[in-house]
Amino acid sequence: MKYNPNEIEARWQKYWAENGTFMAEDVSDKPKYYVLDMFPYPSGAGLHVGHPLGYIASDIYARYKRHKGFNVLHPQGYDSFGLPAEQYAIQTGQHPAVTTETNIARYREQLDKIGFSFDWDREVRTSNPEYYKWTQWIFIQLFNSWFDIDANKAEDIRALVIEFEANGNTKVNAVCDDNIPLFTAADWKGYSGEEQQKILLKYRLTYLAETEVNWCPALGTVLANDEIVNGVSERGGHPVVRKKMTQWSMRISAYAERLLQGLDTIDWTDSLKDSQRNWIGKSVGAAVTFKVKENHNKFLHLLTGDDTGEFAIDVFTTRPDTIFGVSFMTLAPEHELVAKITTPEQKAAVEAYIEATSRKSERERMADVKTISGVFTGAYAEHPFTKEPIPVWIGDYVLAGYGTGAVMAVPAGDQRDYDFAKHFNIPIKNIFDGVDISEEAYAAKDGVKLKDSDFLNGLDYKKATKTAIEALEDIGQGKGKTNYRLRDAVFSRQRYWGEPFPVYYVNGLPQMIEDKYLPIRLPEVEKYLPTEDGQPPLGNSKEWAWSVVEHKVVSNDLIDNVSVFSLELNTMPGWAGSSWYWLRYMDPHNDEEFVSKKAQEYWESVDLYIGGSEHATGHLLYSRFWNKFLKDRGFITQEEPFKKLINQGMILGNSAFVYVYLLKCVNKENDGNIAIDVPRPTFFIVSEKDYENISEGNEIKSIENWLEAKYGNKETWTFEVRYNSSKIFKRHVDINLLQGLTDELDIERFRIDPLNKDLANAEFILNENGKYIVGREVEKMSKSKYNVVNPDDICEQYGADTLRLYEMFLGPLEQAKPWNTAGITGVSGFLKKLWKLYFDDNGLIVNTNQPSKEAYKILHKTIKKVQEDIENFSFNTSVSSFMIAVNELSAIKCHERTILEPFTILISPYAPHIAEELWHRLGHQGSIAKVPFPKFNPEHLVESSKEYPVSFNGKMRFKIELPMDMPVPEIEKTILADERTVQQLEGRAPKKVIVVPGKIINIVG
């Protein structure tokens, strides 16, 4: 009987689907275990072999936990809203829902072929109205909440209204907008309803605000920072600019400290935690207020008619001890004060600089530490203590969204300020005693004392910081403060294919649609582009208004009616649906709640979460934020959503390249006017070695030899390089154009490949064997690099179990590793060898004989190793253990049921299809999936005897097997009586017998 993976795998995949083998129990006496993968965005390209890596790892662990007696929840779904489907809709006119459905069907087909133990009965799709109904509901809860700093949690907005009614806001300590005026209870009651709504909007956890955003005109939408690469959109490569827009935002900043503290309670890698800590960016220091000089204020008031009082620049600094070293101030170009304080003389230069800066993303500005640029505003601030004038500049190294968008520049103590001051010839005051700052700033905190710092002279960093803060508080121009880099999250997108907001507007103020009328479904639109007047794509809908009487979406023509109002035209960002999806898996069919209390209390949170490191900040911060909020409001019980998190490494592609040389050949005999009989221009495809030689400026002979062979003596012709001033370039080649698993290019297929039309007539410089060997380079596996390996092809040729084992065998889960299809044959051979332990050509050969001690040792050694490896997520070493065990069992011709039956269970999490088939052929009914995992018995690894090497005067002459517990005197007696010892001694008495128990015997003659 031969091993036929295609037949076996199809049969067991069908069995699992028909019998609901992996459906989790809603109520169970078993302990629970929740294994989750970061769910995929279903793109049209489908899966390549790099995508399933994390899924295979999580599947092994889920299957292992079932064997260990757990009720395992291992669901899967799709993050199905997103920009790619919308862009495809813009290009083709096809509704994104159709594209998404097609892509999901493709993903599902591929996932099923690999044999994952997903509970597909719990599948979620973020673009399904039944799902995003609850995303809208959560948004409403955020809108109806505020963050109480004293309680350190979110509270119902109604509690805040009660406080306003009783005491006004004088006692309220909340995370809210800046500069909210104080009011009494009487004031509150005297406000109109609209005035009260405007005040509450400044406290709500989700709120409307004018925000600096990344605007992509070509895509007509706001982009998140991680959707921008090198200043252009990741999707399409379109320019992105910074601009202010009124957007929905969420006060994730309210949770900054809890997001930091929570990292100490979860089992994540240090690198992942550090990424979150750096993104949150906690800094302890002081808030300082610098007044803009009075004479400038008076001038500005006359010029603009703005008589609201003094202008002031608020800064946050971690070094208030250096306040006497301030020699200038820098504002972010977007800072709201820039337009107000810039003098007429500087207006043109400032506006030009602001316009240029708007074309850079924040990431570019942060990353570019070499370019120094800025413009003087013409305004001066006043030093809080000395009252000296301080020039106010703008510079793009300051970001509007970080801190206050302004810095007090101390060139002596900050290198970026130092470089700025040097570049613009701004004076640099040295405030550090005994430190030379002629070449660079002194950024250290400890080890020196201050000078030229008035009342701080002679103080060290700690004492000076404390003293400076106290002095600032005394004059009312500062206080101690903790700041965070984490900014409130912009929650609006100018797109069609996203969750609609459950929001309508009355007199410009947002109103929430009642829960019972959710979901608010996406409307049909004629086109998916922004409207002609720049409104988001939902503005193209003719039916996108809300009737507060009929409680439904109605025609826009009715908006003039007093009971019909405009709906929000923006949609939610892609991360909205992925910020709570793990909770929906717990109770996916509940129409009354996003998750029932009973289901959430049983499943609690995710025990193991596996996904890519690209989500180390955005997705994980937003998810933790929403989870903490939902706990605050009593909807769930757990503070953290993911107990343990592993970032799987990337499987890299092995790209193939050809190397192209462009020549123009001319005939010397005719004054260079008549071309030799070759196409012009002529592409030569040379070897990687020749490419390296030319790149280094060396001559190559291979092309000259080729030309001489074709056109005769070199004296009659010459050639010149003609390719964009480059002698040579390399090009990706589709790896499917290679001959089998080799590096040999199929030249004829290469010539007819549409991607290589310009090289169809290229001349190949072949090697001595008449072949062209491509160059190789390990890169990210990507469709654009033509190095993608389709898992369907691997499953078809070798089987899904081979793919699963091979992906684990490539290396440690968390490391990047290159894919090499040639190596997969070894894993395929291993499974065939495993099969032969159970079958020969005539059928099953498993017997009921008593196994040997060696067979027990092999089995239990493997049980111990595999269990330890799975629990430590060292899946690659497990696969090695299986291979060693099968080799050893084959060597001793082990076919005993007592050994092979538990071995089948042992390999089941890794290679489930062959395990199911073997289990069935061994006479068992049903699936192997929940059969108890084999128990390790250490007794089988205890050695009862030892084979001692016996040496004479240090030279080993023979070996002897003796009981491990034999006393040393007995060992001496036994060895001296052995005939081989007698022969070696030739009748002589030994001088000494040295015995090291369990190791060696040495006889000194």
Residues in contact with 181: Cβ distance below 8 Å, sequence separation at least 6, in sequence order: none
Q: What distance in Å separates the CA atoms of residue 632 and residue 429, rounded to the nearest whole number?
A: 50
| pLDDT band at residue 367 using 50, 70 and 90 as cut-offs | confident
| Residue 681: cis peptide before it, omega within 30 degrees of 0 | yes
pLDDT at 227 over 80: no
| pLDDT value, residue 670 | 47
476 three-state secondary structure: coil
Average of per-residue pLDDT across 662-668: 59
pLDDT tens track for 165-177: 999 999 999 999 9
Q: In Å, how far are 3, 33, 77, 618, 709 from 635, measured between CA atoms?
A: 52, 21, 23, 23, 81
- Per-residue DSSP letters for 588-609? TT-SS-SS-HHHHHHH-SEEEE
User: Is 313 within 8 Å of 340 (Cβ atoms)?
Assistant: no
| pLDDT value, residue 237 | 84
| pLDDT band at residue 671 using 50, 70 and 90 as cut-offs | very low
Q: What distance in Å separates the CA atoms of residue 507 and residue 566, rounded to the nearest whole number?
A: 10
| pLDDT value, residue 340 | 92
| pLDDT value, residue 893 | 96
pLDDT tens track for 625-654: 999 999 999 999 999 999 999 999 999 999
Residues in contact with 916: Cβ distance below 8 Å, sequence separation at least 6, in sequence order: 8, 12, 15, 908, 927, 928, 929
CB atoms closer than 10 angstroms to residue 495 = 26
| pLDDT band at residue 684 using 50, 70 and 90 as cut-offs | confident
Average of per-residue pLDDT across 372-385: 95
pLDDT at 667 over 70: no
| pLDDT value, residue 695 | 67
| pLDDT band at residue 258 using 50, 70 and 90 as cut-offs | very high
pLDDT at 722 over 90: no
The helix (H) or strand (E) run that includes residue 174 is strand 174-175
Q: What distance in Å separates the CA atoms of residue 349 and residue 375, rounded to the nearest whole number?
A: 7
Q: In Å, how far are 122, 733, 748, 788 from 753, measured between CA atoms?
A: 43, 10, 9, 16
Instruction: Look up residue 460 and give its two tokens.
Output: 């060290």
Percentage above 90 pLDDT, the chain: 76
Residues in contact with 136: Cβ distance below 8 Å, sequence separation at least 6, in sequence order: 499, 500, 501, 502, 513, 518, 519, 520
| pLDDT band at residue 576 using 50, 70 and 90 as cut-offs | very high
- What is the Cβ-side half-sphere exposure of residue 984, based on CA atoms within 13 angstroms? 21
| pLDDT band at residue 370 using 50, 70 and 90 as cut-offs | confident
pLDDT at 460 over 80: yes
Residues in contact with 488: Cβ distance below 8 Å, sequence separation at least 6, in sequence order: 209, 249, 250, 251, 252, 253
Phi, psi of 626 (to 5 degrees): -65, -40
pLDDT at 712 over 80: no
| pLDDT value, residue 470 | 96
Average of per-residue pLDDT across 388-396: 95
Question: Exposed e or buried b for every residue in 255-275, given b needs 16+ CB within 10 A?
Answer: bbebbbebbeebebeeebbeb
Following CA atoms 315, 321, 322, 328 in sequence, which dihedral angle do they give, to the nearest 10 degrees? 20
CB atoms closer than 10 angstroms to residue 679 = 11
Q: What distance in Å separates the CA atoms of residue 700 and residue 718, rounded to the nearest whole number?
A: 14
The helix (H) or strand (E) run that includes residue 718 is strand 717-721
Cross-strand partners of 652: 780, 818
Sign of the CA dihedral running 173, 175, 181, 183: negative
Contacts for 539-543: CB closer than 8 Å, 24+ residues apart:
539/569
Average of per-residue pLDDT across 596-616: 94
The helix (H) or strand (E) run that includes residue 315 is strand 312-317
pLDDT at 354 over 60: yes
Q: What distance in Å separates the CA atoms of residue 638 and residue 658, rounded to the nearest whole number?
A: 55
| pLDDT value, residue 363 | 72
Give the residue carrying structure tokens 């959109």.
233
| pLDDT value, residue 697 | 63
| pLDDT value, residue 301 | 45
Average of per-residue pLDDT across 680-702: 73
The helix (H) or strand (E) run that includes residue 135 is helix 129-143
Average of per-residue pLDDT across 370-388: 94
| pLDDT band at residue 364 using 50, 70 and 90 as cut-offs | confident
Give the residue carrying structure tokens 């989750």.
36
Question: Exposed e or buried b for every residue in 863-890, given b needs 16+ CB within 10 A?
Answer: bbbbbebbeebbbbebbebbbebbebbe
Q: What distance in Å separates the CA atoms of residue 63 and residue 932, rounded to the nearest whole number?
A: 11
Q: In this predicted structure, which of 216-220, 891-895, 930-934 has the lowest mean pLDDT?
A: 216-220
At position 709, the amino acid (one-letter code) is: A
| pLDDT value, residue 665 | 55
- Per-residue DSSP letters for 510-541? EEEPPGGG---PPPP-S-SSPPTTS--GGGG-
CA-based nearest residue to 331, from 419, 288, 381, 394:
394
Question: Exposed e or buried b for every residue in 926-942, given b needs 16+ CB within 10 A?
Answer: ebbbbbebbebeeebee
pLDDT tens track for 281-332: 999 999 999 999 865 444 444 444 444 457 999 999 999 999 999 999 999 9
| pLDDT value, residue 726 | 46
pLDDT tens track for 724-762: 344 678 899 999 999 988 899 999 999 999 989 989 988
Cross-strand partners of 948: 960
pLDDT tens track for 44-54: 889 999 999 99
| pLDDT value, residue 305 | 46
pLDDT at 664 over 70: no
pLDDT tens track for 871-924: 999 999 999 999 999 999 999 999 999 999 999 999 999 999 999 999 999 999
Q: Answer with the residue of higher pLDDT: 561 or 624.
A: 624
Q: What distance in Å separates the CA atoms of residue 585 and residue 590, rounded to the nearest whole number?
A: 10
pLDDT at 121 over 80: yes
Average of per-residue pLDDT across 605-623: 93
What is the rounded average pLDDT for all residues in the chain?
91
Average of per-residue pLDDT across 442-462: 94
447 three-state secondary structure: coil
